[in-house]
């Protein structure tokens, strides 16, 4: 008997979509610097694209909108620079494939007084264009983003946007974030915070129950009040507040990167969270009823040094138990700022710090995306109903230093004592 046509069609549509990794329409870097806007007249900081290590293909964004590099002369002293760069030629159509266009820089009375090397570009399905940007060879020249061409994409089509150095910033461990996930975006304010966020479900946190939360720009979350503190505290801090710090340091989202957040009480996020917690804590019977996701996407160190840091904290609860996931993408090195990662409670009755897992209390931040305590690269998981303040790390034979070790932490669940290992070694 033949296979019904409807079944054949159904099986056809189940086939996964495969991306051609050689096609720049799928393997580009997201370039989302608000200062590149053609409407930007602020020159308090003069930008120079010769300072960027360009590598590969780029898609230009302005905030959450996909934009083009302008192909008309841009007045000088715009786009955050002295000499704004524009394309001397039309944009291609998808059927044109990869084309090359001359680049011009406007200075004083000459729209093309500067002629840096030409660039390649390609028009992609989905009404966007990618560019193979190159060093303009001198300062101060910078590529512009034409805000009049802005279009809001349904989703970014490349599965893993990368930084100008070519490194991935988002991995499969990240929960959905950004405009495609319906996130709320925090304001672009130095030392800022989200407004008070009422929680859709109460969150138990080390014996206290919270109905609200604040996402603070310097890489931490608080509950009773916002916190603008950028100088890190050692944990235990013996302070008057509970805090969760996925990456506490001096961050600056005024000109680059996004800080966004979202909470869920239904849908795929709850199913994913339930599966994650069941995998990492197999002795606990748990079904997530609430998930809160806060993401720092490509946020720079102060004062907008061109660095990019991507990380995420996920809070998961069933109203009785709560867990913390900390997810890490690309983290830039910093010789200047101290970084604190962990959590602390009022009067530090319970606390934990990743600093204690590394020699000299100095976290290897660049390699956070390959570290883990749950055998998932770039992810750390913690249970927030611990009954012990003891915290220690050991080294695992055969693994390079520094390597988080095993911490056996007892906790009480329905009057039974369990031994969890939320700080186990990476395999």
- The CA-based diameter of the chain, rounded to the nearest angstrom, is 79
Question: Could you give the C-alpha distances from 423 to 25, 207, 288, 366, 393, in angstroms and in order?
Answer: 40, 21, 22, 19, 8
Q: Which residues pair with 29 in a beta bridge?
A: 58
Work out the angle at residue 369's Cα, subtended by the Cα atoms of residues 411 and 176, and round it to the nearest 5 degrees.
80
What pLDDT, on a 0 to 100 scale, did the predictor assign at position 17? Answer: 37
**Tokens 């929960």 sit on residue:** 175
**Tokens 């998932």 sit on residue:** 376
For residues 314 and 101, give the distance between their C-alpha atoms in angstroms, rounded to a whole number: 44
> Residue 276's closest CA among 379, 351, 427, 409?
379
For residues 207 and 205, give the distance between their C-alpha atoms in angstroms, rounded to a whole number: 6
Note if the bond before 84 is cis, omega within 30 degrees.
no
For residues 243 and 251, give the distance between their C-alpha atoms in angstroms, rounded to a whole number: 17
Please give the distance of CA 292 from its chain centroid, rounded to a whole number.
15
Burial of residue 91, with CB atoms counted within 10 A of its CB: 0-12 exposed, 13-18 middle, 19 or more buried: middle
Q: Are strands 146-151 and 65-68 parallel, antiparallel or unpaired?
A: antiparallel
Tally of CB atoms within 10 A around 323 = 24
Task: Judge whether 260 and 178 are in contact, CB under 8 Å.
Answer: yes
Going residue by residue through the chain, which has 427 residues, state the pLDDT in tens, using 9 for 90 and above: 444 433 333 333 333 333 445 788 888 888 888 899 998 888 788 999 998 889 899 999 887 788 999 999 999 899 999 999 999 988 999 889 999 999 999 998 889 989 999 999 999 887 889 999 999 999 999 999 998 887 755 334 333 333 333 333 344 799 999 888 889 999 998 999 999 999 999 999 998 999 999 999 999 999 999 999 888 888 889 999 999 999 999 999 998 899 999 999 999 999 999 999 999 888 889 999 999 999 999 999 998 778 999 999 999 999 999 999 999 999 999 867 889 999 999 998 888 888 877 766 678 888 899 888 888 889 999 888 755 344 433 322 222 333 333 323 333 222 122 333 333 323 3
Task: Judge whether 322 and 385 are in contact, CB under 8 Å.
Answer: yes
**Tokens 């989905």 sit on residue:** 126
For residues 137 and 118, give the distance between their C-alpha atoms in angstroms, rounded to a whole number: 12
| Number of helices (H), then strands (E), in the chain | 2, 25
Provide CB contacts within 8 A for 11, sequence distance 6+: none
Q: Both tokens of residue 143?
A: 């590529």
What size, in residues, is the chain?
427
For residues 30 and 161, give the distance between their C-alpha atoms in angstroms, rounded to a whole number: 6
> Residue 404's closest CA among 356, 370, 350?
356
Provide CB contacts within 8 A for 112, sequence distance 6+: 73, 88, 104, 105, 106
Tally of CB atoms within 10 A around 35 = 20
Burial of residue 304, with CB atoms counted within 10 A of its CB: 0-12 exposed, 13-18 middle, 19 or more buried: buried
Tally of CB atoms within 10 A around 28 = 25
Provide CB contacts within 8 A for 280, sequence distance 6+: 374, 381, 422
Task: Judge whether 391 and 404 are in contact, CB under 8 Å.
Answer: no
- Integer Rg of the chain from CA: 24
């Amino acid at each position: 008997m033949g296979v019904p046509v409807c079944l054949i069609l159904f099986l056809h549509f189940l086939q996964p979509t495969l991306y051609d990794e050689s096609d720049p329409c799928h393997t580009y870097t997201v370039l989302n610097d608000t200062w590149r806007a053609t409407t930007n007249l602020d020159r308090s900081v003069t930008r120079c694209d010769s300072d960027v290590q360009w590598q590969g293909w780029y898609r230009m964004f302005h905030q959450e909108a996909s934009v083009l590099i302008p192909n008309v002369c841009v007045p000088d002293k715009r786009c955050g620079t002295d000499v704004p760069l524009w394309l001397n030629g039309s944009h291609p159509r998808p059927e044109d494939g990869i084309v090359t266009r001359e680049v011009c820089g406007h200075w004083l009375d000459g729209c093309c007084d500067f002629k840096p090397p030409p660039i390649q570009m390609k028009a992609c399905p989905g009404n966007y264009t990618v560019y193979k940007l190159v060093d303009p060879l001198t300062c101060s020249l910078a590529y512009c983003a034409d805000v009049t061409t802005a279009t809001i994409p349904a989703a970014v089509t490349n599965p893993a946007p990368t930084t100008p150095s070519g490194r991935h910033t988002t991995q499969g461990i990240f929960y959905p974030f950004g405009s495609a996930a319906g996130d709320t975006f925090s304001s672009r304010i130095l030392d800022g915070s989200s407004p008070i966020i009422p929680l859709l479900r109460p969150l138990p946190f080390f014996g206290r129950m919270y109905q609200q939360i604040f996402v603070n720009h310097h890489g931490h979350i608080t509950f009773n009040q916002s916190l603008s503190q950028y100088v890190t505290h050692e944990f235990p801090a013996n302070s008057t507040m509970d805090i969760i710090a996925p990456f506490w340091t001096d961050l600056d989202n005024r000109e680059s990167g996004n800080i966004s957040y979202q909470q869920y009480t239904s849908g795929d996020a709850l199913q994913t969270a339930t599966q994650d917690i069941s995998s990492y804590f197999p002795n606990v019977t748990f079904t997530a009823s609430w998930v809160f996701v806060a993401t720092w996407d490509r946020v720079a160190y102060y004062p907008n040094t061109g660095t990019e840091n991507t990380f995420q904290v996920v809070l998961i609860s069933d109203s009785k138990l709560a867990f913390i996931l900390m997810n890490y993408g690309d983290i830039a090195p910093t010789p200047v700022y101290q970084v604190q990662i962990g959590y602390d409670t009022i009067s530090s009755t319970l606390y934990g710090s990743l600093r204690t897992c590394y020699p000299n209390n100095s976290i290897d931040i660049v390699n956070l995306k390959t570290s883990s305590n749950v055998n998932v690269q770039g992810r750390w998981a913690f249970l927030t109903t611990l009954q012990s303040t003891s915290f220690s790390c050991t080294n695992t034979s055969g693994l390079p230093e520094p390597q988080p070790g095993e911490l056996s932490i007892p906790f009480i669940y329905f009057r039974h004592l369990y031994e969890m290992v939320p700080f186990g070694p990476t395999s």
